Structure 1
Amino acid sequence: MATKKRSSANESGWSSGSAGVLVGAAVAGAAIGLAANVGRKLFVQFTSGATGNWSDALATEHKMTLAVFDKIQATNDSQTMMRSHLLAKLKYALTKHALQEENVIYPALREAGERVDADHLTADHGYVKTYLYELEAMAKDDPSWLPRVAEFRTMIERHMREEEDDVFPRFRAWLSEEKDKELTALMNKEGFKFA
């Protein structure tokens, strides 16, 4: 009786060379994925942080947020998927922005003796989270959805004006050039974590 030697390559259809190519492709794919993620983070942070100092970067993010609101408010009740997508984009932008402010700028405000402003602005962020929660929970074709978005936008615009026209200019005037650069670097680092 002749014993037939079977090779594992014949059974599986793969040779050791094919397996090596497959492993190489998987490693290359993982490397490309990691590089793309880092590239995405750099792009997201660059678009908001490349404008100069921390207050300019936050003002740019404010404008970008209002542009998302514009797109949301241009939808109609039949565009539920588009509304969901844009709401997710808004939530992402506002969450990243809030983390930068709450973890860097508002603590620096407190350190500068501006506790009342820091606490007030932080409290506004609580309302932002509430609006986002409510809008996510509501049916996107509910006739009251867009009016709720408009109410949310009004609150956000008031918050932005307060920061850009009053609190941040006053705070920047108090900061040394060195501290201003330090806050910019810290805020960009915080944003990069979330980007």
Structure 2
Amino acid sequence: MATKSQSKSGTGGSGNQDNEGLFNWGSGNTGVLVGAAMAGAAVGIAANVGRKLFVQLTSGATGDWLDALKTEHAMALAIFDKIEATDDSQTMMRTHLLAKLKYALTKHALEEENVIYPALRQANSAYDADHLEEDHGYVKTYLYELETMPKNSPEWLARVRDFRQMIQTHMTEEENEIFPKFREQLSAEQNSRITAMMHKEGYKFA
């Protein structure tokens, strides 16, 4: 995704005519400024790549695809724990934690919907894939409701608990039934390919 760029700029003087002509857009200092801007952009790109790698590596990008998804499940439940530990006066904290939960679940859903569920369908498990993807629609509904409800309402936390119960049922079905059965059908090469594809999808969203 990232591209490397190199720029050379002279320090001034008549002996640097080639460098002066490279970025000579009407000011003697323009070349220096553009060179500095390009260097800053390169640093920004590198930092962004590093951030993406960090996010991906700390959000389950270890082991194969099922191990990674299990880790992401556990991380989402840990955010639920923090949300449920808040009280009605902590509206800013609830808003912050809900944003973290939405990010984690959205990234996770994209990995499953763009890689795992299509692979399930290809393996003649369309019913399971459709069922799990239907659950993701309810996830979006819960997130929308929690974003629009007053964060200091007693009903808000009750809705969070309903959401968690739904999510845990979904996760248990994936971890204990559908995904292990599917993984058993895969060759080592197929398993590695699906793992790489899923991590690539997660990296896009990191």
Q: TM above 0.5, one fold?
A: yes
Note the 1:40-59 alignment, pairs <5 A.
40-59=51-70
Q: Count residues in correspondence.
A: 180
Distance across 2 between alignment mates of 1:156 and 1:101 = 14
Give 1:139's match in structure 2, choosing from 146, 150, 154: 150
Deviation at 1:40, TM superposition (A): 1.0
Per-residue displacement from partner, 1:31-63 (whole Å, max 9, x unpaired)?
Answer: 222211111111111123432100000000001
Which residue matches 2:205? Answer: 194
Query: What amino acid maps onto 2:69 in structure 1?
Result: L
2:82 paired with 1:71: yes
Deviation at 1:76, TM superposition (A): 1.1
Which residue matches 2:104? Answer: 93
Higher relative contact order (CA 8 A, sep 6+): 1
Partner-residue secondary structure (3-state), 2:95: helix
Which residue matches 1:103? Answer: 114
Distance across 2 between alignment mates of 1:28 and 1:39 = 17
Distance across 2 between alignment mates of 1:194 and 1:188 = 10
2:174 paired with 1:163: yes
2:50 paired with 1:34: no
Deviation at 1:26, TM superposition (A): 3.4
Distance across 2 between alignment mates of 1:187 and 1:44 = 14
Q: Is residue 61–residue 199 contact of structure 2 (8 Å, CA) maintained in 1?
A: no
Per-residue displacement from partner, 1:114-138 (whole Å, max 9, x unpaired)?
Answer: 1111110000000000000000011
Which residue matches 1:5? Answer: none
Distance across 1 between alignment mates of 2:85 and 2:41 = 39
Per-residue displacement from partner, 1:134-186 (whole Å, max 9, x unpaired)?
Answer: 00011111111011001100000010000000001100111111111110011
Query: What amino acid maps onto 1:71 in structure 2?
Result: K
Partner-residue secondary structure (3-state), 1:77: coil
How does the TM-score come out when normalised to structure 2?
0.82
Distance across 1 between alignment mates of 2:188 and 2:153 = 50
Query: What amino acid maps onto 1:176 in structure 2?
Result: S
Query: What amino acid maps onto 1:62 in structure 2?
Result: H
% identical aligned pairs = 72
Which structure 1 segments of 5+ residues have no match?
1-14
Question: CA-atom RMSD, angstroms?
Answer: 1.6
Which structure 2 segments of 5+ residues have no match?
1-26
Query: Which runs of at least 4 in structure 1 moved beyond 6 Å after TM superposition?
Result: none
